[in-house]
Amino acid sequence: MSPLPASPLHHNPVRRIVRGAALAAGAGLVGVPMAVAAGLTGVDMVKRRGRRRRPAHNPGVFDAPVKDSHLRIFTSGEDLYEEMLSAIDSAERIVKFETYIWKADPTGQRFIEAFNRAAARGVEVYVSYDGFGNLVVPRAFYRQLDPRIRVFRLPAFARPFWRGPVRNTGFNHSKIMVVDDEIGFVGGFNIGDDYATFWRDTHVCERGPAVWALDQSISIKWNAHHREGEQMSWRPPESWDPRVTVSANQPPLLVYPIRLTYLEAIQRAQHRIFINTPYFIPDQQVLQALLHAARRGVDVQVMVPQDSNHIVADWASRGFYAEMLEAGITILLYKASMIHAKTATVDGIWSTVGTANIDRLSLGFNYESNVVVVDRDFAARMEEIFAIDAERSERVESPRWQDRHGVARMVERLLVPLRPLL
């Protein structure tokens, strides 16, 4: 792996924008970070114009049976979408689907048409998507859905906060589909052409007991926003399998278990922790758990994109690097494309794949869903994928990072107040 590239803030135009933004905002505790964030975003938009993108590398499709469950790991949107569309076309009774982003492009259109075909042959179809995540998508795109399909758009802003502000925060960031109560999909992939071709992500298809919990994750949030008579019915689980479970954040219930599953797994670690997340902005408890693990000799490796689709999140993340490197944590910057996978393995036995990032929004506000698997064979497949991705990553070297430009250090410090919002 090659050394860390030079900071983009070495370039004079960026430096001037950051300094100008800071001066314009004055000494305001909120104004300065927001102005810096706006400046970074503007520079990033200019840099991305005309940039040629390469198709994402696809490590492959991996089958990993676990007792009563059959799990299939997808690392390519094209492969995943074909499997999902096939499942919709094979549905006989019911399809439940939810996503954060659903683009009005050829890939998104294929899902519209698949849901309409299912509804036309008498399948009960529920569709949910997030209003904020799709602000730029024309409403006319969703109006193509068959009138028999039950559709819910989680409002971007018009929330009933009078019922309780905390219970009505967060986005519907889950990406789940359940078909005929028998097959479930969950992971990081949104729906769209770019995600199919240019993003590296990870999704899991599960046939087995965990499908019930994915179904519950969808039903709880649907029922929290619908009156009696419009709600999804409860069905009993077929069996218990503690080796494949689902952790789902449910803001209406004030339940956020995904953060706890991460903390417990990190605290148990004795040998190695491999984390892949597109946005790494941990709270102090999660950060300290990782630092403590590294200091007691655990091989902790955190992989993030070299350049994600959110430059402010990238710079907020960099503010943690010095302390992580000092503790012995390995930081890998994936450079082949935008990597959006939300996965982790611990000690080659515990794994998670899902929708939650290691940031404040995902762990403490959003609707999120992660499948948790305790199985050595499944963990081996996940570690294999991590190793393949690591070959396309650059390792952050401590001496080089400590010598980074002073303006970069200033930007990292100025963005600290924004961490709770990211």
Q: Is residue 54 part of a domain?
A: no
The most confident of the ranges 113-117, 207-211, 231-235, 319-323 is: 113-117
- Mean pLDDT over 213-217 rounds to 95
Domain presence at residue 102: yes
Report which secondary-structure segment, H or E, holds 66.
Answer: strand 61-66
The CB density around residue 395, as the number of other CB atoms within 10 Å, is 15
Residues 278, 227 share a domain = no
Highest mean pLDDT among 8-17, 22-31, 274-283: 274-283
What are the start-end ranges of the E strands in 234-385? 244-249, 272-276, 280-281, 299-305, 330-334, 338-339, 343-346, 350-354, 358-359, 368-374
Q: 384: which 2 tokens?
A: 């294999």
- Confidence at residue 19, expressed as pLDDT on a 0 to 100 scale: 57
Single residue among 196, 216, 243 that ends a domain in this structure? 243
- Does residue 288 belong to any structural domain of this protein? yes
**70 and 35 assigned to the same domain:** no
Q: Is 28 found in the same domain as 84?
A: no
| pLDDT value at residue 2 | 47
- Could you tell me if 66 and 170 lie in one domain? yes
pLDDT level of residue 46 (50, 70, 90 thresholds): low
| 3-class state of residue 331 by DSSP | strand
Do 17 and 115 belong together in one domain?
A: no
The residue from 243, 265, 283 where one domain ends is: 243
Residues 109 and 146 in one domain: yes
Q: Is the pLDDT of residue 414 over 70?
A: no
Same domain, 184 and 281: no
Q: Which of the residue ranges 65-69, 119-123, 133-137 would you say has the lowest mean pLDDT?
A: 65-69
Answer yes or no: is pLDDT of 26 > 70: no
**Over 50: is that where the pLDDT of 268 sits?**
yes
Q: Which of 201, 218, 243 represents a domain boundary (last residue)?
A: 243
pLDDT for res 252: 82
**Do 195 and 271 belong to one domain?**
no
What mean pLDDT do residues 100-128 have? 98
Of 64-73, 192-201, 274-283, 413-422, least confident by mean pLDDT is: 413-422
Instruction: Note the pLDDT of residue 157.
Output: 74
- 273 in the same domain as 236: no
Tell me: do 22 and 92 sit in the same domain: no
- The answer to whether residue 1 is domain-embedded is no
Say if residue 206 is in the same domain as residue 151.
yes
Q: Which domain holds residue 375?
A: 257-421
Residue 45 confidence (pLDDT): 65
* Distances, alpha carbon 43 to alpha carbons 13, 46, 49, 285, 365, in Å: 8, 5, 10, 33, 29
- Confidence grade of residue 190 (pLDDT, cut at 50, 70, 90): very high
What pLDDT is stored for residue 357 in this prediction? 96
**For residue 246, pLDDT beyond 70:** yes
pTM metric for this prediction: 0.87
Under the banding of pLDDT at 50, 70 and 90, the label for residue 27 is very low
* Mean pLDDT, residues 402-411: 68
- In the chain, how many domains are there? 3
| Same structural domain, 92 and 40 | no
In a domain, 354, yes or no: yes
pLDDT in tens, 326-376: 999 999 999 999 999 999 999 999 999 999 999 999 999 899 999 999 999
User: CA–CA separation, 313 vs 420, rounded Å?
Assistant: 11
On whether the CB atoms of residues 201 and 188 are closer than 8 A, the answer is yes
Read off the CATH number of the domain in which 84 is found: 3.30.870.10
Q: What is the separation of C-alpha 312 from the centre of its chain, rounded to a whole number of angstroms?
A: 16
Residue 306 has pLDDT above 60, yes or no: yes
Of the candidates 135, 182, 136, 181, the one whose C-alpha atom is nearest the C-alpha of residue 154 is 135
pLDDT digits (tens, 9 = 90+) for 78-98: 999 999 999 999 999 999 999
pLDDT given at position 32: 72
- At residue 159 the predicted structure's pLDDT band, cuts being 50, 70 and 90, is low
Q: DSSP code of 123?
A: -
